[in-house]
Amino acid sequence: MSRIAKKFAFLQQQGRKALIPFVTAGDPDRETTVPLMHALVKAGADVIELGVPFSDPMADGPVIQRSSERALKAGIGLKQVLAMVAEFRKTDDVTPVVLMGYVNPIERIGYRAFGKEARAVGVDGVLVVDSPPEEGGELTAVLKENGIDPIFLLAPTSSPERVRQVAEVASGYIYYVSLKGVTGAANIDLQEIAQRIPEIKARCGIPVGVGFGIRDGATAKSVAHIADAVVIGSRIVQEMESSIKETVIGNVSGLVNEIRKAMDQQ
C-alpha cells in the first residue's frame, strides 16, 4: 500500500479528512523549502503538494505564478525539487509528497529517467496539469511502474466521459477543481461540490480532494464535510509572499494549524 493510500486509510479510521497544503519548491528561496515542509507536517498537513516551478503555467493564478517566478530566478528546476524531496525524506519517511506541475520539465529529463529518480527520492504522487488521460498514457504507465500514484484533475465542466477516463487510470486521490478559473479565483460553490463529489467517488473509487478557492478555516471545514481532502495553495503562498524571511515559516505554520483545527471541529 502506498503512503497516500495508508494516509487516507488512517484518516478514515479516525473520522478525519486530509489537509493538503501546496507550496512552490524554492519559494521564497532554496533553503526554506525543506524546513517549511517539516513545519507544515507539524502544523497538521497530511499530504504535501510541492509545486515544480514552471515559466508558462495554465492553471495557476497570479499568486502562484509569482512564486514560480521567484523560484525560477533562484535557479530551481525539477532536479532541484527532487533533491529537496530527498532531503525531506532523511527525517520524514511517512508523509506523502506529491509533485504538481507541467509536463515540459519531465519531458526534458525523460519519462523513464524521471520515474526512476522520483521513486528513488521518495515521491509518492505526480499531478501533471497539462497531461490529461488521453495524452498521458506513457507517463502514467511509467509512474505506475515505479509505484507512484498518477493524480488527475476533474472540474465542474468535466463530462461523464472524462470522469470515466480518469477513473480508469488515476490512483492516490482525485483533485477536484472547485471552480471555473485559475487558482486563487472567486468563491467556491459548495452546493455544486456537494452534488459532484459523491458522483465522482462512486465512479472512481478513490478519495477526492477539493482545491481552488479555499481561503480560510470556515470554508475548509465546509468542504471537509463533503470531500475526503482539502487542498489549499494560493492562500498559503499569499501568506508567504507577505511575510519576511524570518517569519515566513511561523506565519504559514500558524495559518495551516488554524485550518487544521477548523477542519477537525465537529
- How do residues 47-69 score in pLDDT, each as one tens digit? 999 999 988 777 677 888 899 99
* Catalytic, out of 27, 46, 49, 239: 49
Domains of the chain: 3-264 (3.20.20.70)
Q: Are 126 and 149 in contact (CB under 8 A)?
A: yes
HSE of 149 in the Cβ direction (CA atoms, 13 Å)? 27
Q: Specify the pLDDT at position 266.
A: 60
Predicted pLDDT of residue 85: 98
Backbone φ and ψ for 91, nearest 5 degrees, come out as -125, 0
The rounded mean pLDDT for the chain is: 93
User: What three-state secondary structure class fits 129?
Assistant: coil
**For this structure, is 189 an active site residue?**
no
Block mean pLDDT (10 aa), the chain, length 266: 96 96 95 98 98 82 87 95 98 98 95 98 96 92 98 93 95 87 57 91 94 90 96 93 94 97 88
List the grid coordinates of 63.
499568486
pLDDT tens-digit readout, 135-173: 889 999 999 999 999 999 999 989 999 999 999 999 999
Quick one: pLDDT at residue 65? 87
Q: pLDDT value at position 55?
A: 86
Question: CA dihedral defined by 103, 109, 113, 116, rounded to 10 degrees?
Answer: -60
Check residue 181 and give its pLDDT: 46
Q: What is the DSSP string of 11-59?
A: HHHHT--EEEEEEETTSS-TTTHHHHHHHHHHHT-SSEEEEPP-SS-SS
46, 60, 124, 239: the active-site residue: 60
Bridge partners of residue 176, in order along the sequence: 154, 210
Q: What is the value of pTM for the model shown?
A: 0.94
Residue 75 exposed, middle or buried by CB count within 10 Å (0-12, 13-18, 19+):
exposed
